[in-house]
Chain A
Amino acid sequence: MSELVGTPEQVISDPAGVVIDDLHKSFGDVEVLKGIDMTVSPGQVVCLIGASGSGKSTLLRCVNRLEDPDAGRITVGDFEATDLDVNLDAMRRQIGMVFQQFNLFPHLSVLENCTITPRRVLKQSRDEAEREALHQLDLVGLKHLADRRPAQLSGGQQQRVAIARALTMKPSLMLFDEPTSALDPETVGEVLAIMRDLARAGMTMIVVTHEMGFAREVADRVVFLDKGVVVEEGTAKQVIGAPTQPRTQDFLRRVLNPLGE
C-alpha cells in the first residue's frame, strides 16, 4: 500500500495548532455542541470518535467556519476563527477539508479539480498550478488519471484526488470527516495509507473516523464525543484500549462488535 506514496517527499513545514475553547452550537432549539474544549498541537493527529448525531461533523465544520458557532472561541494557527472580522477565505486556504462524499467538481477533470483554486484564488499561472497538482496527484498515486473526470474514478481514487486537491493549497491543518465511510471496503486501505503518510509528514490533522485500527496506529490522541460533550480523551491506547467512561465502553462495544455478542 505504501508504495503509492513517497513519504519523505512530503514535509509539512508549518503545521498549525488548533485551540477550541468552550464551543457551543445549536440548530434551532437543539444544542449540538455543549461547550467543547480541545487542543491540537502543531503536527498532532486527533481522531474524533462518537455515535451518529453526537456532533462530530458540526465540530469539524465549526473549525473552518462552514458552520457559525454560537459561543466560544477557536484559533487555528494565527487565525482567530471565531472573530467576526477574520478573513474567512484566507483562513480556509490554510485548512484543507476532506468530505465523506468526496465532493469533487464533476464538471472538471481530475487535474482541473486540483488547479482551479490555486489558479483562480491564489492567481498561480497554469504551469505553476499544474506542476504542483501533478506532484500532489503523483503522491497519491493518481498522476496517470489526471485527464479523467471524477465520475470515471472509483470511490477510493476520488477520495485520493480530494486529498491531493486539498494539499495543492499547502494547508497547515487538515480536517477529515469520515473520509472512508462511503468507500467500498477494498478501497478503504489506500485512502488510510495516504492519510497515515500525511500524518508522518507532520501535518496537523483532525479526523472523524470509525476506523479504530487507523486511530490506534496513527492518532496521537483520541477524543470521544457524545451528545455534544467530550466524554473521554487520551491516547488511543487509553481511550480505545482501556476506556474508563461507561458511555465510551458502550460505544466501543457497539463499533467493534456490531452484532452485540
Chain B
Amino acid sequence: MALSNRDRARLSLGIQAAIFAGVVVVLIIIIDWAAVQRSFFNLEPVMAMFPEVITVGLWNTVRYTFFGFIFGLIGGTVLALMRIASFPVYRWIATIYIEFFRGIPAILVFIALGFGASLAFGLNLSTLQTASTALAIVGAAYIAETIRAGLQAVPKGQMEAARALGMPAWRAMVTIQIPQAFRIVLPPLTNEAILLTKDSSLIFVVGMAGSAAELTKMGRDGITMYQAGMTPLVVAGICYLIITVPLSILARRMEERSPARSSRKRQKKATASPVTSGVA
C-alpha cells in the first residue's frame, strides 16, 4: 500500500516524537537528579557569588573584550587596507601577520604577553592591558580578513564612479567604499565580538588579582572556594550568555536588514498579506 506524502510526513513526525520520549524516559531513570542539582544548580554558592560575579567578573570580561575589540578593529582596518594596497611590501606584511595570528592558538599570545613581556622587555602590564592587547592582536588578524572581504564586496563600479567624478582615491574610499563595506561587515564583526568575549577567558592562564578576575577565573575559583561542585561554572557560563546571546540576536537582525534581503522581504510581505487576510 502506498503512503501519501502527507501520511509519510505524519509518520516521520511520529517516529521522531517517539524517539524523543524514549530518550527522556531513559534519562529520567538513569540520572541521579539529586547529584545533578547538588553539583550544577546549588543555590548556596550562587548566592555567595553575587553580586561580585556581576560587578567584578562580568564587568571585567566586558572591559577586556571591549578594549580588545576596539583596538582589534583599528588594527584590523589598517591590516585590511594594507592587504589591498598597491605597494607589495604592505600586502606581504599584512598577509604574514594575518596568517601567523590566525594559525597559532590565541592562548600562546596571552602567555607571551602575560609572562614574556616582563621577561623580555621588563614591561609590567596590568591584567586589563595584557588581556585587551592579546585580544586585539589576535582579533585584528580575523577582523582584517572580514573587513577586506567587505571592501571587496562593494562593486568595482562604485569606486570608478567616484573617481570619475573627480574624488581623490582616499576621499572615494572614505565617503563611498568604506560606508558601504561597513554595512556589509557589521554582522560578521558582531560575531567577531562574540568570539573575543569567549577568548577573553584565556587571560586565566596568566593569573590575576581578585579585583581583576573575569568570569572564568571567578567560576574556577568558586569551585575550590565553596566546595559545592560545578555550580560556579554554571553561573559563569550564564553570565557569558548574557553577553553573547544579545550580540548574536543583534547580528541576525542586522543580517536580515541588509539591503539585499530587505527588498526581498518587502516583496514577500506584499504578496503574503492579501493571502493571509483572505484566509482570515
Say whether A and B bind each other: yes
Contacts of B259 in A (CB 8 A): 106, 151
Tell me the bound Cα distance from A66 to B160 in angstroms: 7
Which one of A88-96, A126-134, A216-224 is at the B interface?
A88-96
A103 lies within 8 A of B180 (CB): no
List chain B residues, Cβ under 8 A from A99: 157, 160-161
Q: Mark A91-121, 1 if CB is under 8 A from B, else 0.
A: 0110111010101111100000000110011
Residues from chain B with a CB closer than 8 A to the CB of A92 are 163-166
Chain B: minimal CB distance from A7 (Å): 25
Does A165 make an interface contact (CB < 8 A)? yes
Nearest CB of A to B173, in Å: 12
Q: What residues on A are CB-neighbors of B175 within 8 Å? A: 116, 120
How many B residues are at the interface, by size bracket? 20 to 34
Known: A120-B175, A121-B171, A151-B263. A101 touches B165 (CB 8 A): no
Q: How far is the CB of A206 from chain B (nearest CB, A)?
A: 13
Question: In the complex, are the beta carbons of B171 and A120 less than 8 A apart?
Answer: yes
B88 is an interface residue with CB less than 8 A from chain A: no
The answer to whether B165 and A121 have CB atoms under 8 Å apart is yes
Say yes or no: A95 contacts B164, CB within 8 Å.
yes
CA distance A151 to B263 in the complex (A): 9
User: A107–B155 Cα gap in the complex (Å)?
Assistant: 13
Q: Which residues of A contact B162 (CB under 8 A)?
A: 105, 117
CA distance A247 to B261 in the complex (A): 46
A103 and B167 contacting across the interface, CB-CB below 8 Å: no
Q: Are the C-beta atoms of A105 and B166 separated by less than 8 Å?
A: no
Contact A66 B163 (CB under 8 A): yes
Whether a CB of chain A sits under 8 angstroms from the CB of B254 is no
Residue-wise, chain B 133-164 has the 8 Å CB interface mask toward A (1 for contact) of 00000000000000000000001011011111
Distance between Cα atoms of A105 and B155 in the complex (Å): 10
A166 contacts partner chain B, Cβ-Cβ < 8 Å? yes
- Is residue B116 within 8 Å, beta carbon to beta carbon, of the partner chain? no
- Nearest chain B CB to A52's CB is how many angstroms away? 18
Minimum C-beta distance from A115 to chain B (A): 11
Residue B106 lies at the interface, judged by CB distance under 8 Å to chain A: no
Which partner residue on chain A sits nearest B165 by CB separation? Answer: A117
A166 touches B165 (CB 8 A): yes
How far is B175's CA from A97's CA once the two chains are assembled, in angstroms? Answer: 19
Contact residues in A for B165 (Cβ distance below 8 Å): 92-93, 96, 117, 121, 165-166, 169
**Cα(A105)–Cα(B179), bound, Å:** 10
Contact status of A107 and B157, CB under 8 A, knowing A64-B164, A121-B166, A151-B263: no
Kindly state the separation between the CA atoms of A121 and B175 in the bound complex, as whole angstroms. 11
Does residue B183 face the partner (Cβ distance < 8 Å to A)? yes
Which residue on chain B has the smallest CB distance to residue A149? Answer: B259
Nearest A residue to B174 via CB reads A120
CB distance from B261 to the nearest CB of A (A): 12
Return 26 A-B CB contacts under 8 Å, by A number.
A89-B166, A89-B167, A90-B166, A92-B164, A92-B166, A96-B165, A97-B161, A99-B157, A99-B161, A101-B157, A103-B160, A105-B162, A105-B180, A106-B180, A106-B259, A107-B179, A107-B180, A107-B183, A117-B162, A117-B167, A121-B165, A151-B259, A151-B263, A165-B165, A166-B165, A169-B165
User: Apart from A92-B164, A105-B176, what are 17 other A-B pairs with CB-CB below 8 Å?
Assistant: A64-B164, A90-B166, A92-B163, A93-B165, A93-B166, A101-B155, A103-B161, A105-B158, A107-B183, A117-B162, A121-B165, A121-B166, A121-B167, A151-B259, A165-B165, A169-B165, A169-B166
